[in-house]
Amino acid sequence: MRLIILASCLLLLGISCKKANTHNSAVGNPTRADTLLNTSYGADPHQKMDIYLPANRSVSATKVLLLVHGGGWTGGDKADFSGSVTAFQNSLPDYAIVNINYRLAGNNQNLFPTQENDLKAAADFVFAKRNEYFISDKWAFLGASAGGHLVLLQSYKYSSPVQPKAVISFFGPTDLTSFYNSGSAAALALINVTGTTPTANSERYQQSSPIRFVRAQSPPTLLLQGDADPLVPPAQAALLRDKLQLLAVPNQYILYPNEGHGWVGADLLDSYSRTVAFLKQYVN
């Protein structure tokens, strides 16, 4: 499975890394950049996050971008987005960036809605510390693949602790019932993370489907999808696009010809540029 890796933009755009104070303790001076690695938001070893706080931050102005990795809900790690963090720090210097891990499904453990609950808990944790971290309530969520599914679900299903100003999904599933019925290998693997099928437990699939929770007040949404994706059919993004348009929710749907479950090169640069532009347009 080839996932989107925005880190490639670092080399192509000639972006260099910024140094920051890296530690695991409480935040100190808001005029200084701070990096809090492996901060726990729960008791499980997987319930950890990396928090990157910019210098000269404040509770009124410092925006937050929360990243959620993919991996079919059974794999992946926040390290998958490590390079992307640096790219976003340089392109969006007024943002705090939160890069989370969550409990993974396997061996009939950590079934849905475990991952949904973990993202909610992570958001709750950071938002409760906004005064300590000197960050605002101007948030955005971004995820890839399974992470795309999770950020869409969080953004549409919950208005607390914070209603994001924007949500960005790289090829995330949107309707788990139709995804399962598509018959792809990834779709059939839903049994491993739900413990059931849509026929046996339609409620679990509906409650885990972002498209079921879209409303007119849902945040502006950017959907990026390859038209040759063998794992998440392009129809998943198109279904959500149609629902967003029906309810007049601002949205952009970008379909990349001949691209699969992730891409590199010019299309990757385009995705990165569109992401930054989308955040600048809506998170204010």
pLDDT of amino acid 186: 80
CA distances from 242 to 15, 55, 251 (A): 37, 40, 10
Report pLDDT digits (tens) over 54-113.
999 999 999 999 999 999 999 999 999 998 999 999 999 999 999 999 999 999 999 999
Give strand pairing partners of 255. Answer: 225
Terminal-residue alpha carbon distance, the chain: 35
Which secondary-structure segment (H or E) carries 277?
A: helix 265-282
Output 4 or 153, whichever has higher pLDDT: 153
pLDDT of amino acid 26: 57
Report pLDDT digits (tens) over 253-269.
999 999 999 999 999 99
Residue at 150: amino acid letter: L
Report pLDDT digits (tens) over 110-146.
999 999 999 999 999 999 999 999 999 999 999 999 9
Task: Please state the rounded mean pLDDT for residues 232-259.
Answer: 98
- Percentage, residues of the chain above pLDDT 70: 90
Q: Name the pTM for this structure.
A: 0.93
Task: Please state the rounded mean pLDDT for residues 166-184.
Answer: 96
The encoded tokens of residue 274 equal 């569109």
Please tell me the chain's helix, strand, coil percentages from 3-state DSSP, rounded to the nearest 5: 40, 20, 45
Task: Please state the rounded mean pLDDT for residues 164-174.
Answer: 98
Q: Is pLDDT above 90 for 8? A: no
Secondary structure (H, E, C), 58-76 = CCCCCEEEEEECCCCCCCC
Which secondary-structure segment (H or E) carries 22?
A: strand 21-23
Report pLDDT digits (tens) over 186-213.
877 899 999 999 999 999 999 999 999 9
Q: Is pLDDT above 80 for 281? A: yes
Output 270 or 24, whichever has higher pLDDT: 270
At 54 the three-state DSSP class reads coil
pLDDT of amino acid 185: 80
Q: In angstroms, rounded to a whole number, what is the distance separating the alpha carbons of residues 9 and 46?
A: 28
CB 112 within 8 A of CB 201: no
- Domains of the chain listed by start with CATH number: 8-282 (3.40.50.1820)
